[in-house]
Structure 1
Amino acid sequence: MTNSRLIVLALLLVSGQALSTEFNIDKARETLKDYGLANCISSQFKDESDIKSDIGLAIGAYSSMGKGQHLIIQNEDTLEVTHDPYAETEKYMRNAYAKTSSVSKHSDKKMVFYGCLEVYNSREFDTFIQSQDQYLPK
């Protein structure tokens, strides 16, 4: 193989790794966002139901014990959690949802799915999710 072909091959491998890393970051962000959406919806309903149970399973799948890629940071000596991206995402969603005005003109109840999607699709939530990138494995 000529030197120019080796260089091209090496560049392709390096670019493939860069694309692979970017894909993992995007997937990790998507999973954390989905975790937040599932929590937002589930936390608004107090009574058990088949839907709430199903959403609970999704929360587990999106968490650090499932497909979630974000790391929960602990103090090595005390094992105290110093940062939990999942708990922070729940907190963010809870606070942002409380600020949404998603009342239907047909009811005085807040539309949960609508309100949670409003937060989920916001630029502010995307910015928050990106702020959690520092807790992804290197």
Structure 2
Amino acid sequence: MRYLIICSLSLLSPYLALADETHIEQARQTLKNYGLSHCILKPFNERSALEKDIALSANAYSFMGNGLHSILQDEDTLQVLHDPYKETLSYISAAYQQTPSRSKHSNEKVVFLACLKIYNSEAFNRFIKTQDAYISD
């Protein structure tokens, strides 16, 4: 019986590894989407239907939405020890300040262009992978 269980598990292991890798990729994508939503949202102060929609998207990707990363807290004091979402916001904010995105039609920074440059950058992908330890099961 034990041999049968071990054989069954060894046959399933490639599928379990694939499912695990799919979960990790989904978690990474969700955190990237959270960052992109906040990147687009942050520079705008006015209230509009578009701002409301982007804010709802950002919340959907958060820990309390469909986010797949956990916030690490001290069990006794509930002090936050690591928040992947806060770290992502910090990363996005710093990257946004450093990302040029001028248009030949405007002297102002083009928000969506800057955010897409960050979102598609290898540096952002590397940052997102640093948050893998906080992916929920």
Does the pair score TM above 0.5? yes
Counterpart position of 2:89: 90
Q: In the TM superposition, what whole-angstrom CA distance separates every residue of 1:85-137 from its partner, at most 9, and x where no partner exists?
A: 00110110010011011011111111100000000000000000000001113
Q: Which piece of structure 1 moves more, 118-127 or 72-81?
A: 72-81
The residue type paired with residue 68 of structure 2 is Q
Counterpart position of 1:127: 126
**Pairing 1:1-138 to 2, within 5 Å after superposition:** 7=7, 10-138=9-137
Tell me the secondary structure at the aligned position of residue 78 of structure 1.
Answer: coil
Q: In the TM superposition, what whole-angstrom CA distance separates every residue of 1:29-79 from its partner, at most 9, and x where no partner exists?
A: 000000000000000101111011001110111001111110101111211
Question: CA RMSD of the aligned region, Å?
Answer: 1.6
Tell me the secondary structure at the aligned position of residue 50 of structure 2.
Answer: helix
Aligned residues: 134
Shift of 1:11: 3.4
Determine what percentage of the aligned residue pairs are the same residue.
Answer: 48
TM-score by length of 2: 0.92
Tell me, in whole angstroms, the C-alpha distance in 1 between the residues paired with 2:136 and 2:13: 19
Tell me, in whole angstroms, the C-alpha distance in 2 between the residues paired with 1:102 and 1:36: 18
Tell me the secondary structure at the aligned position of residue 21 of structure 2.
Answer: helix
Moved over 4 A (4+): none
| Structure 2 unaligned blocks of 5 or more | none
Tell me, in whole angstroms, the C-alpha distance in 2 between the residues paired with 1:106 and 1:41: 20
Shift of 1:80: 1.0
Tell me, in whole angstroms, the C-alpha distance in 1 between the residues paired with 2:83 and 2:70: 7
